Each structure stands twice: as structure tokens, then as C-alpha cells.
Amino acid sequence: MALSLVARHQVQRLVASQARCYSSSMIPVKRLGVIGAGQMGLGIALVAAQKAQVDVTIVDTSEASLSKGLAFADKLLAKDVAKERITQDEADTARSRLSVGTSMEKLTEVDFVIEAVPEIPELKFSIFKELARICQPHAVLATNTSSISITKIAAATTKNPKEFWADDRVVSTHFMNPVPVQKGVEIISGLQTSQETLDRAIAFCKAMGKVASVSTDAPGFLANRILMPYINEAIICLETGVGDRDSIDSIMKNGTNVPMGPLQLADFIGLDTCLAIMKVLHNETGDSKYRPSILLGKMVDAGWLGKKTGKGFYDY
């Protein structure tokens, strides 16, 4: 009797699980893949090369972004040498571990991959569908998403599976920005994520010198579920005249001992990113307390996105 579709899927999962149990226990993370050569992706790659001492392949569709990313890496390493945080030999060794490419086919041999592209759901879904096709069956497939459901991203890997199912290898490693400075990383499991995948993600982040916090797949996870409403409320206070920009930031800096006020922090995060996350929180929970500030939307419409565009709540 022919196996039903469900039965075939169960057999595929069993075969994949057995293969991974063998391979992942025998193969440590020696090579990392990073998708996206922006500030986050480059930061992740550089810290992995320095702290975890692994070879890193950075993939981006833009040659210009790759060149800019490597130049940024050189600048950060030179700064660390100048401040005597590392030696020149250590900087040279870390830099030698970084390689780049424009095709995801360069990731076929990695043991762990971290996607760090813009928060566009369909883009991430397409990337993970491709990763499921090309990566080794033991490789952990991680996303740096700050707001998109891990369960939805994992589900994208089950579209037209070939030999191995990959949805239980998907996890989020949400690094805090800037990665070389901030120690925190939020690790989020989707509904499909296996305990083995979660354990490997925690272990690798620790090898990168990070402090891991674990959360479930809920809108905003932990960091943004707490942080973004705080920033959004500060913007509402500004737009409704409760206080001016400097007073809002000053009271939080001098009253709660945070290094920067909420409006300045929003500029550093990017107002477009703040708006996108607030929309996810609002849409997925249906709770009016997550309604994005009208002023925040207007500033994004104006192209005033914060530090990266030279203008936000402050001028840069």
C-alpha cells in the first residue's frame, strides 16, 4: 500500500532527525554563514570571527554592500587595535576569517547560518526556503528577525522539501545592536524548533561571548515587546505636547539611568524599524495599546528615519 502524504512526511522527519543526531553531535560549528552585509550582519560576522574563532562567509546580493561591510570591519578592527583591546595579529587573524559572496550557494558547507536582512516577511520566507534546499542536514538555520514569527519562517522551509525537513532547525538569534558592543542576544523558538536546535543556538551565542535570553514565539518576543511601546509612548508624549524632545530624553536618562533617552534611541534604531515593529505588535495582538504614533508614521513618510538618514528627532 502506498504511504499517505502525512506518513511520508513522518518518515522524512524520522530520517532527517536520525541524520542530524549523528552529524550535529560529531560536527562542531566551524563555519558560519551570514546573509546580509549591513550593520547587523557585519557585526555578527565580525564577533563570530573574533570571539568564536570560526570562518565566516557573508552573502549579499550587492557587491557594493559587501565592500562597504568589509571596510566597516576594517575600521572596527583598527579602532580596537588603536585602543589596545586587541593586537594587530589578532585583528589580522579575525579579518582573514571573513569571506564574501553574492550567491547563497556559497553556504552549502556551513554548520550554522544567520539571516540578517530587512524585516520583509516574503524576503525572509524565500531565503529560508532556499536554505532548506542547499544547506547540510545538520546546519542550524537562524534568523535575526526582531518581529516576524519564527513559526512562519520555519514553515517556509517545508515548501517542496527534497530529502530533509528543515523546520525543526529554524530558530531566532536576535542580536542587540550594535553587535560588537551589546552582550545581549534573544533566542526564540518557533513551534517547530527542536530542543537540539535551541541548545546549539544557545551554545554558539555563548561562544560568541553573548549573554542569551530565551523567549517563545510571541509578537515582539521579549525585547521589542517591552522596548517599542516605551519608545512609542515617548513619541506620543512629544506629539501631544506633554513634553519637548529634550525634556523627554533628559528625564529618562537622569531619572532612570539609561544611557540615552527614548527619542535618541529611536533615531539609532531607525524610525522605519520602530514603525514596522509597532505595526506587527498592533496587527498580531489586536490590542490598541500598540497603535503606532501618528507622528512616527509621518516622520517615516518624510524619510526622516534617524541617524542613518541624517535626520530624525535629532540632526546628525
Q: At residue 310, what is the residue type? A: G
> 124 near 144, Cβ under 8 Å?
no
Would residue 282 show up in a list of annotated catalytic residues for this protein? Answer: no
Buried b (16+ CB within 10 A) or exposed e, 140-174: bbbbbbbbbbbbbbbbbbbeebeebbbbbbbbbbb
Annotated binding site: 36-41, 60, 119, 124, 146, 177, 308
Alpha-carbon distance 29 to 160, whole Å?
27
- Concatenated DSSP letters of 188-214: EE-TT--HHHHHHHHHHHHHTT-EEEE
Active site (annotated) includes residue 284: no
Catalytic residue of the set 144, 146, 149, 232: 146
Annotated binding site for NAD(+): which residue ranges? Answer: 36-41, 60, 119, 124, 146, 177, 308
The residue among 17, 16, 68 whose CA lies nearest residue 38 is 68
> Active site includes 144?
no
- Residues with Cβ within 8 Å of 60's Cβ and at least 6 positions away in sequence, in order, are 35, 36, 37, 41, 66, 69, 100, 102
Catalytic status, residue 174: yes
Catalytic one among 24, 186, 189, 232? 186
* Residues forming the active site: 146, 174, 186, 224
